[in-house]
Structure 1
Amino acid sequence: MRTRAIAVGSLLSLAAWLGFCAIEVAAGPPSRGGVQRLKQSTVDTVDWVGAACPVTGTLAIPAYHLRFHDGWVAFSSHGAREEFRKHRSDYLAQAHAQLVLTGQYRQSRCPQSNRRVHPAIFLALGGLDVFFSDDASRTRFLALDEDDRTRHVLGAEQFSRFFTPVAVADQLSRKRLVKHDEDSSQDDPRTEADVARINQILFPAMQAQDRNWKRLMELPAVVGHTSTLDANGKPIIQLMLKESRPQQDYPRIIDGIPVVSEVVGEMFAMQENGGESDGNDLGVDWHGAMDGNPRWFSRPVPIGVSTGVSFPGGACNGGTIACRLKGKLPDGTPALFLLSCNHVLAGVNLAPLQSPVLQPGKVDNGCIEDLTSSLGTLTAFKQLQFGGLVNRCDAAIVQTDETLVSNATPPDGYGVPSCVVLNPTVGMQVQKVGRTSKRTFGRITGVNTTVVIMHAGGSVLFTGQITVANRAPSSVFTQPGDSGSLLVSDPGRNPVGLLMAGNSTGTLGICNRFSDVQDALNLYQLTVDGE
């Protein structure tokens, strides 16, 4: 995640001549407006991680706080706080920056045009991202010298014009969403603004991909290609190879975008098939005996566990329950559904509607159909197209109810997912709970992925996918039987994607964008039944 400790050197150097006027918050009853609205807030409401003291520039300690504007400012010591009290005008720029970096204020207006800001048009000022309404405004801002830039954003009059207080509920939500993750020191986008910024950087690579996708797929040994960032944060196109080939087989640049390659192997649908399991797959060969079967769960069953469709002539395989959904039937009647992949719940287009969907799947019950383990019947699915036709998602839903399916993972999972869907981008930390590999952790390594997925009935071409690699402590991200797992942000548990495929080593997964799943089944007005 981007560090939020502002670089204060340049701000300190110009505080004396900026002529900022302090805005005191008088003791006693608050006035109408912002102070009254934020009366319920406390210092504990604020996310202080990484905040810098406006006076010293060192780490701020919340215990040394002061009410300021419609929020709070924290200092490194009692002495720093007293210095601020005495010479407030010298440190206003830094204090304003802290209000923004701790989520108490947000920018709403462009400092050049005074119009609403665009979340993908920004530049860094010290440790602060400043947003603009359009590229022309950003260009005019860049023409200013550094001192003028600071004054145009963090001056007393300018700050009150371009920034607005954040509601207490939003501050608490932000604090939960961006809490420090000791697992990684890498950049980790966790909010829509973060995602928009990175995807704007990736946009030229995605455009080049879209213009040349067929040409790229025709290159030798290529199973897919994706947009990602290099070690310097520059956009590149990465070719996904099934085997090693000489570098001269591939272009170095396409439409001005560098092209690199990596051997990842072929990509396979991640269902578990009867008779193909390894010796550690405890679910197979229970032959109808649910007592003691580790893949059977009492009702309501959690999400992230074994499921599968049963129909005459259907294969003996299984996958994972992604989540419980709220929605409506075509006649407008409210309903609950469970979500997984087409190849888990619809047998790759072959299962008739109203086919029973079981828990555990038949692969975990000796390939025996036990209708007493039904969670509902197949309601709808997105048809998978073969023969080189383009697909966006591999999804199906089953009407169920809350007595049969819960909305939380098993206790060793992440719990209840958020109901707020988050768009994916490169660098985002994610997690999933699946039938086979249980809870694993990953990082999004590519977006706008075009890839060929191998099924028993042939290959299926997908575009607009997400690639996810495992990250510590997980040695793999996915294994056969994990198809249908819900991909969520970590932390935050925001739905991001639907896992459908992976390579043979399990170190790379392919996921549909969750928004594409919703769009494909929009007749049912689906939302995640979560927090």
Structure 2
Amino acid sequence: MQAIIQAGNTAPQTAKELAENVLSWAKRHNLFTKVPLEDAVDGADVQFVANGDAFRAQAVEEILRKKAINLVGFSEPQKKVVIFTNGKVSKTDEKILPFHSAGFTIEYIQGGIAQVKGNPPPPETPKPFNLHQGRYTCGSSIFPAHCIGAGTFGLIVRDQHGDLFGMTNNHVAGACNNAMPGLPILAPGPLDATEDACDPFTIGRHHRLLPINDGIPENIAIGVNWDVSIFRLSDTSRVTSMQGMAFDTPAVVAAPLPGMQVEKVGRTTGRTSGLIVAQSASPVPVHYQVAEYGVRKNVYFESVYIVIGSNEQPFSKAGDSGSLVVADDGNGSKVAVGLVFAGNEQRGLSFILPLPEIMDKLSLEIVSGHHV
């Protein structure tokens, strides 16, 4: 079915414009689920026309109200808009819902609610860490020494003075904004420091973070929210830039793009692959429930990409937070594109932050070829 979703008499020229029109139309007609997405969307005057069929337009509205919209994303390379719904779209629904609009494709995916949870499950790999030539690899378990928990050591980075740091999420090593500078980061994380683990050691000490501040976009500047933390490496000879035993951290950082095939190595699920299906068209509300730090709040992020795992398997699970996301550059080489920070395990979705912006904000460069 063809449809037109536009503001005034102007047809959308980009997938992002169409996605924003869908969001505004959905807000005006109360089609969002109970997640706080509505607070991030402007309710502009957008019209929905289904081939001039008013009855069909009303039916579409009723279906999406029942299914409830969680999130809307877009892909410029594929000229596509993705509507993430709380309920599954049925075969009967598909006969009524629009799949094309103004030259763009519309896709429906169940899911879209982003969550950050503590208390990660046991690793699905033999061990939650790897040693390459006796050195601790990226993609392995880490966590502050004063808490029982575990996340992922994403990558090694270098500052303008040549000093080396480890990078992960704020909610992993930054204690959700509360880590004191110098706080020891343990490898493996205390949760994984079992009788079968290597000798735990202080891989580094907390140095700096990008915050995760709660509050709706109308009240706070959400552009500062990036959920990233770096820790100064205590002994650079004890770590390697290898991502597990799979591959070296790429030397090049590139922007993530919908349609990219990606992979990561993480503490819980190890090496997995997936597809970037969309970039969010609006700020994404992420629900944080991190018992290790007593944190429960909603945090909005402006720049988020959504990944679906391959072979109906999750791209990431709790404990994989902080994992580096890499893609093929089309010429047989890998590029680093993002950092895993949230997920929706039930629907096999992961949410990643774009790495180029992170590196720019912290004035860092990626490290490759370190003890490989």
TM-score (norm 2): 0.69
**Deviation at residue 305 of structure 1 after TM alignment:** 0.6
* 1:300 partnered with 2:135: yes
* 1:444 partnered with 2:276: yes
**Deviation at residue 416 of structure 1 after TM alignment:** 1.0
Q: 1:226 aligns with which of 68, 73, 82?
A: 73
**Deviation at residue 262 of structure 1 after TM alignment:** 2.2
Amino acid at match of 2:177: N
* 1:488 partnered with 2:326: yes
Separation of aligned partners in 1, 2:26 and 2:166: 36
Q: Structure 2 matches for 1:506-521, cutoff 5 A?
A: 507-521=348-362
Q: 1:236 aligns with which of 80, 84, 94?
A: 80
Q: 1:464 aligns with which of 286, 294, 303?
A: 303
* 1:347 partnered with 2:175: yes
Q: Is the 8 A contact 1:356 1:371 kept in 2?
A: no
Separation of aligned partners in 2, 1:435 and 1:216: 38
TM-aligned CA distance change 1:449 to 1:359, over 3 Å: farther
Separation of aligned partners in 1, 2:74 and 2:136: 37
**Deviation at residue 256 of structure 1 after TM alignment:** 8.4
Q: Structure 2 matches for 1:31-180, cutoff 5 A?
A: none
TM-aligned CA distance change 1:234 to 1:381, over 3 Å: closer
Q: Is the 8 A contact 1:266 1:504 kept in 2?
A: no
Q: Is the 8 A contact 2:154 2:324 kept in 1?
A: yes
Q: 1:357 aligns with which of 185, 191, 199?
A: 185
Q: Is the 8 A contact 1:466 1:513 kept in 2?
A: yes
Amino acid at match of 1:220: F
Q: Is the 8 A contact 2:141 2:188 kept in 1?
A: yes
**Deviation at residue 224 of structure 1 after TM alignment:** 2.1
Alignment partner, residue 405 of structure 1: 239
**Deviation at residue 300 of structure 1 after TM alignment:** 3.0
Unpaired segments ≥5 residues, structure 2: 1-11, 34-68, 290-295
Q: Structure 2 matches for 1:332-343, cutoff 5 A?
A: 333-343=161-171
**Deviation at residue 379 of structure 1 after TM alignment:** 0.6
TM-aligned CA distance change 1:240 to 1:520, over 3 Å: farther
**Deviation at residue 363 of structure 1 after TM alignment:** 2.0
Separation of aligned partners in 2, 1:254 and 1:386: 35
**Deviation at residue 294 of structure 1 after TM alignment:** 5.7
Amino acid at match of 1:478: S
**Deviation at residue 210 of structure 1 after TM alignment:** 5.2
Alignment partner, residue 250 of structure 2: 418
Q: Is the 8 A contact 1:265 1:504 kept in 2?
A: no
Alignment partner, residue 72 of structure 1: none
Amino acid at match of 2:306: T
**Deviation at residue 427 of structure 1 after TM alignment:** 1.6
Alignment partner, residue 50 of structure 1: none
Q: Is the 8 A contact 1:300 1:405 kept in 2?
A: yes
- Kindly report the root-mean-square deviation, in angstroms, between the aligned alpha carbons of the 2 structures: 3.4
Alignment partner, residue 454 of structure 1: 287
Q: Is the 8 A contact 1:477 1:507 kept in 2?
A: yes
**Deviation at residue 324 of structure 1 after TM alignment:** 0.6
SS of 2:305 mapped into structure 1: strand
**Deviation at residue 295 of structure 1 after TM alignment:** 3.9
SS of 2:268 mapped into structure 1: coil
Separation of aligned partners in 2, 1:363 and 1:242: 33
SS of 1:403 mapped into structure 2: helix
Q: Is the 8 A contact 1:295 1:306 kept in 2?
A: yes
Q: Is the 8 A contact 2:207 2:231 kept in 1?
A: yes
TM-aligned CA distance change 1:362 to 1:203, over 3 Å: farther
Q: Is the 8 A contact 1:272 1:363 kept in 2?
A: no
**Deviation at residue 244 of structure 1 after TM alignment:** 4.2
Q: Structure 2 matches for 1:469-480, cutoff 5 A?
A: 469-472=308-311, 475-480=313-318
SS of 2:207 mapped into structure 1: strand
Residues 298-347 of structure 1, C-alpha deviations (whole Å, 9 max, x = no match)? 86311011111234xx5x3221111111113xxxx320011101110112
TM-aligned CA distance change 1:214 to 1:520, over 3 Å: farther
Higher relative contact order (CA 8 A, sep 6+): 2
Q: Is the 8 A contact 1:449 1:466 kept in 2?
A: no
Q: Is the 8 A contact 2:173 2:185 kept in 1?
A: yes
**Deviation at residue 360 of structure 1 after TM alignment:** 0.8
SS of 1:334 mapped into structure 2: coil
TM-aligned CA distance change 1:426 to 1:372, over 3 Å: closer
Amino acid at match of 1:513: P
**Deviation at residue 506 of structure 1 after TM alignment:** 6.2
Separation of aligned partners in 1, 2:258 and 2:112: 21
Amino acid at match of 1:409: Q
TM-aligned CA distance change 1:326 to 1:210, over 3 Å: farther
Separation of aligned partners in 2, 1:203 and 1:468: 25
**Deviation at residue 502 of structure 1 after TM alignment:** 1.3
Alignment partner, residue 205 of structure 1: 15
More strand by share: 2
TM-aligned CA distance change 1:480 to 1:506, over 3 Å: farther
Separation of aligned partners in 1, 2:213 and 2:253: 26
* 1:376 partnered with 2:210: no
Alignment partner, residue 3 of structure 2: none
TM-aligned CA distance change 1:282 to 1:419, over 3 Å: closer
Amino acid at match of 1:402: T
Q: Is the 8 A contact 1:339 1:395 kept in 2?
A: yes
Separation of aligned partners in 1, 2:357 and 2:215: 21
TM-aligned CA distance change 1:338 to 1:449, over 3 Å: farther
Moved more, 379-388 or 498-507: 498-507
More helix by share: 1
SS of 1:464 mapped into structure 2: coil
Q: Structure 2 matches for 1:186-201, cutoff 5 A?
A: none
Say how many residue pairs are matched.
298
Alignment partner, residue 54 of structure 2: none
